[in-house]
């Protein structure tokens, strides 16, 4: 699985039990934004908000703030950056702090680029997504085939929906999505390592015209890249 394999071979990869930015990026972008067919829902609930949010979505740009906690609820990682989405199958996830890192999917391969160390790891997109929620990038099936979705009670005025993967071989245990008046505002993800990651979004632009070069890795010589195929 790319989320564990790629980061395990990367010089700046966190030790076991540390935050996994690639898992977070794939879970967010694929599970939340690339689902082709939303499930049936009762009007006015969180699932209906997800349904409405996905209708007509072709591209997205948003800033994010991320906090990750371990199983003991100790804060492990705090980061911020920007992500870009272009359906189908392309995204760019930029971490500006604490370290500069780019996670990019171009429809063929997924790259992890450490800008400080000038190192890149990559893997075929089909292989990278196998056994993960990101499989939906290439599968394109309805959400009900891969997830159980249900609305959950709200204590903050937002509409919340919970997605539980039906597959057993994924790092993601549960994803909760919080919708404000107009946009997706928060995501809380729990993984099989007991970690919880919260992302809050701001300055979101829906269906902007994005530069295609955002989803192209500056390859130079492919010999400089670490292939995990």
Q: pLDDT by residue (tens digit) across 73-126?
A: 999 989 999 989 888 778 898 999 888 899 888 888 888 888 888 888 888 877
Quick check: 45 pLDDT over 90?
no
Q: Tell me the pLDDT tens digit for each residue of 173-220.
A: 888 888 887 778 888 989 888 999 898 999 989 899 999 999 998 765
Tell me what pLDDT residue 167 has.
75
Tell me what pLDDT residue 220 has.
57
Give 52's contacts (C-beta < 8 A, 6+ positions apart): none
Give 216's contacts (C-beta < 8 A, 6+ positions apart): 106
pTM above 0.95, yes or no: no
Mean pLDDT of 23-52: 53
The domain in which residue 114 lies consists of 2-227
CB 62 within 8 A of CB 202: yes
- By CB atoms closer than 10 A (0-12, 13-18, 19+), residue 124 is middle
Quick check: 14 pLDDT over 90?
no
Give 227's contacts (C-beta < 8 A, 6+ positions apart): 121, 122, 123
For residue 177, list its beta bridge partners.
161, 187
Query: How many domains, the chain?
Result: 1
Percent of the chain past pLDDT 70, that is, above it, reads 64
């Amino acid at each position: 699985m790319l989320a564990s394999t790629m980061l395990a071979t990367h010089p700046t990869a966190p030790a076991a039990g540390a935050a996994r930015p690639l898992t977070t990026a794939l879970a967010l972008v694929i599970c939340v934004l690339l689902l082709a067919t939303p499930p049936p829902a009762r009007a006015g609930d969180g699932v209906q908000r997800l349904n409405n949010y996905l209708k007509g979505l072709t591209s997205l740009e948003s800033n994010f703030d991320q906090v990750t906690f371990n199983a003991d609820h100790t804060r492990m990682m705090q980061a911020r950056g920007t992500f870009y989405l272009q359906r189908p199958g392309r995204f760019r996830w930029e971490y500006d702090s604490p370290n500069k890192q780019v996670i990019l999917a171009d429809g063929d391969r997924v790259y992890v680029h450490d800008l400080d160390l000038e190192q890149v790891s990559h893997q075929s997109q089909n292989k990278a997504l196998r056994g993960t929620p990101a499989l939906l990038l290439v599968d394109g099936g309805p959400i009900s085939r891969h997830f159980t979705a249900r609305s959950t009670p709200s204590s903050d005025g937002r509409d919340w929906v919970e997605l539980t993967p039906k597959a057993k071989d994924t790092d993601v245990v549960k994803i909760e999505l919080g919708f404000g008046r107009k946009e997706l505002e928060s995501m809380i993800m729990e993984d099989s390592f007991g970690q919880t990651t919260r992302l809050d979004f701001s300055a979101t632009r829906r269906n902007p015209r994005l530069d295609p070069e955002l989803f192209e890795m500056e390859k130079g010589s492919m010999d400089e890249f670490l292939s995990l195929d």
